Amino acid sequence: MVSVLIDQNDRFLDILERLSSKSVEDYYNPYKLFEWPDRLPENMWWMSPELTTTYGTAAAERLTQEQLYALSRYESINFYSLNVHGIRELLIEVTKRIHTSGFETPSEFFHHFIGEENEHMWFFAEFCLRYGKKIYRQPAGASVEIPRSDVESLLVFARILIFEELVDHFNSKMALDTRLHETIRAINRIHHQDESRHIAFGRELVSALFAEVKKNSTEQELADVSAYIKRYMTYSFESLFNPQVYRDAGVEKPQELRRELLQAPARAKFEQSVFRKTTKFLQKAGII
Amino acid sequence: MASAGIEEIRSWILSRHPERDDVAPDENLIESRLVDSLSFVELVYAIEGASGVEIDFDNIDIRDFQTLSSIEKAFFAAV
């Protein structure tokens, strides 16, 4: 079905070809690209302070500069850990579809996508293990209800897109932040470069899938899709607030701090800035 | 008599489902969709917050989270 949607859309076909060529031209060896010093200095920001979960809150005022640096260190490990888990999930979904019936046309691009995502997963995991000595875990969730197959593809690729856009908000800012170590800036820069292609593809695909779902759905079904997407955005945003991170940074009651931060006035502004472009796209497409 | 901790979890579930008045101790939270894949992690954090127990994500047994009774048995029994 996806192939049919793309094949009848000249604009999408052009974009797909251009993105595949760009992947070939920009190809790099990630295993040789980065400088990995043995240690990174602890007495500095590991994440732009404006992107940390305590920024602009009363909690941040209670912490010393040293504690804020430590928190930024653990939050950065959490951020890259979320990348590792998010990439694993999306690789599973794209790999399930490549070269199967209905996905003939995007399969060439999927090869680049899978290859690049595998490499991103490697350098994010390397960063976590080398400098944080661990990858933060995510609990295995409860099983998900399986909706109609066309809705399933829409939700799968919308989730991938939302995850990539969230991450890209952080990458694009941290790549340019001179307060951060060059190794940190480099992984954010490279990821941002590759993800711009994946996001361009994701937006086209999600728009096309939604247009199709819209034709065959009731108002109620569309309202359910919208509600699910909004919940997924909240879920993704809240995954940045990891109690284990607060515990590692020496916070005594990590669950209380998490609750405080999620209810803080600064939360709404932070969430809006993270999803500013994503929300605009989803609204324009009529999905939310 | 239910512990204060499990009452906190019941309230947490009800706060997310204003259409419900109560959750029976043996009602399956996942099958009844009171908890799904997007809210599961929040349930885990709510239990951690109410019990003070740190839950090992690598060794989660989904059966411990299926009903309020099983949650109470697994995380609040010693309270």
pLDDT digits (tens, 9 = 90+) for A254-264: 999 999 999 99
Cα angle at A256 between A255 and A258, to 5 degrees? 65
A38 within domain boundaries: no
Residue A45 gets which letter from DSSP?
-
Position A66 in a domain: no
Read off the pLDDT of each residue in A245-253 and give the average, rounded to a whole number.
Answer: 94
What is the pLDDT of chain A when averaged over all its residues? 94
Looking at residue A139, its pLDDT comes to 73
**Structural domain total, chain B:** 1
Question: In sequence order, which residues have a C-beta less than 8 Å from that of residue A250 and are 6 or more positions away?
Answer: A67, A70
- Region A46-60: what's the mean pLDDT? 97
Residue A119 lies in a domain: yes
Report if residue A8 sits inside a domain: yes
Mutate to test the interface with B, among A82, A159, A235, A239 (most CBs of B within 10 A): A235
Question: How many beta carbons lie within 10 A of that of residue B27, not counting itself?
Answer: 16
Cα-based distances in Å from A67 to A44, A64, A71, A75, B77: 11, 5, 6, 12, 36
- Sign of the four-CA dihedral A245, A246, A252, A256: negative
The per-residue b/e assignment along A139-176, b for 16 or more CB within 10 angstroms, e otherwise, is bebbeeeebeebbebbbbbbbbbbbbbbbbbbbbbbbe
Residue B16 has a CB neighbour count (10 Å cut-off) of 14
For the segment B32-77, what is each residue's pLDDT rounded down to a tens digit?
Answer: 999 988 899 999 999 999 998 889 888 889 999 999 999 999 999 8
| Closest listed residue to residue A164, CA positions, set A201, A112, A119, A122 | A201
Collapsing DSSP to helix, strand or coil, A243 comes out as helix
pLDDT greater than 90 at residue A31: yes
Nearest to B23 by CA among B75, B70, B76, B79: B70
DSSP B62: G
What pLDDT sits at residue B59?
Answer: 87
pLDDT tops 70 at residue A85: yes
ipTM above 0.85, yes or no: yes
Q: Rounded to the nearest 5 degrees, what angle is found at the Cα of B73, between the Cα atoms of B70 and B75?
A: 100
C-alpha–C-alpha distance, residues A164 and A185, integer Å: 18
Q: Would you state the pLDDT for residue A255? A: 94
In Å, what is the CA distance from A30 to each residue of A77, A95, A144? 19, 21, 34
Q: What residue numbers bound the domain in which B68 lies?
A: 4-76
User: How much is the pLDDT for B37?
Assistant: 86
Mutate to test the interface with B, among A163, A255, A258, A261 (most CBs of B within 10 A): A255
Q: CA nearest A50: which of A286, A275, A266?
A: A266
Q: Does any domain span residue A55?
A: no
Tell me which chain A residues have a C-beta less than 8 angstroms from the C-beta of B35.
Answer: 142
pLDDT digits (tens, 9 = 90+) for A175-225: 999 999 999 999 999 999 999 999 999 999 999 999 999 999 999 999 999
Number of domains observed in the structure of chain A: 1
Domain, as residue range, for A85: 2-30+71-135+145-284
Tokens of A228: 């699910």
| A199 assigned to some structural domain | yes
Spatial distance between the Cα atoms of A61 and A204, rounded to a whole number of angstroms: 43
**What is the mean predicted confidence (pLDDT) over A137-147?**
64
- Nearest residue in A to B28, CA atom: A142
Whichever domain contains A250, its CATH number is 1.10.620
Q: Is A251 a member of any domain? A: yes
Q: Who among A141, A232, A258 is closest to B45 (CB)?
A: A258
Residue B19 Cα, gap to closest chain A Cα (Å): 16
Q: Alpha helices of chain B — where are they, by DSSP H?
A: 4-16, 40-51, 68-71
Could you tell me the CATH number of the domain that includes residue B48?
1.10.1200.10
Q: Is residue A247 part of a domain?
A: yes
Dihedral class, residue A133 (left if φ above 0, else alpha if ψ from -120 to 50, else beta): left
Identify whether the C-beta of residue A275 lies closer than 8 Å to the C-beta of residue A166: yes
Quick one: pLDDT at residue A147?
65
B54 and A CB contact within 8 Å? yes
Contact: B38, A231; criterion CB under 8 Å? yes
